Amino acid sequence: MITIIMRCFVAVDLAEDLVGNVIRLQEGLKDLNVKLASDFHFTLKFLGEVDVKTVGEVELRLKELADKTKPFDITVEKVGVFPGVVWVGAPELLNLQIEVEDTLGKGDFKPMPHLTIARVKQSKYLAEFIDKHSDVNIGSMRVNKIKLKKSTLTSKGPVYEDLKVFNLEG
């Protein structure tokens, strides 16, 4: 019997009307030896490599969470950096991130909900970009769904696919 393994994570997609603002922000990174992201989402929990049975269990738990969670508004703001990643944040997503973490179990928890805008190996000018844009405000959006996504690594970068979308109903 063949076991199908998928690389999965839980996320909230960036609202379409904010994508242009992120792309404009990325313009300041083009000459800084970075790889710009093109799929914009806030990762709430990275699950890693999981089998189909586990995906089914995750779907059931996320449905229960979505059924009891009300839609809410967030502000996408502030630029920051983790090792290897330039991001913009959304602090109001922290409570949902904690709920996802509690629902699916503890793991590689990053206590700042963030949207990756670039991956960087090293850039001596990155600190200047962060200082210049630390108080950027990308805009506000309504969070009314969470997604279970699959990530397939390719030579051109990851390809993302929605496995299941859960509307917040609470």
The three-state secondary structure class of 108 is coil
Angle at 148 (CA atoms; ends 60, 139), nearest 5 degrees? 125
Query: Residue 41 catalytic?
Result: yes
Catalytic residue among 45, 78, 114, 147: 114
Amino acid (1-letter code) at residue 133: H
Amino acid (1-letter code) at residue 85: V
What is the C-alpha separation between 70 and 55, in angstroms, rounded? Answer: 24
Catalytic residue among 11, 12, 14, 41: 41
CA dihedral for 105, 111, 112, 115, sign (positive or negative): negative
What letter would DSSP give residue 4?
P
Query: Residue 114 catalytic?
Result: yes
Closest C-alpha among 122, 147, 133 to residue 26: 133
Element (H, E) at 150: strand 145-154
Residues designated as active site: 41, 114
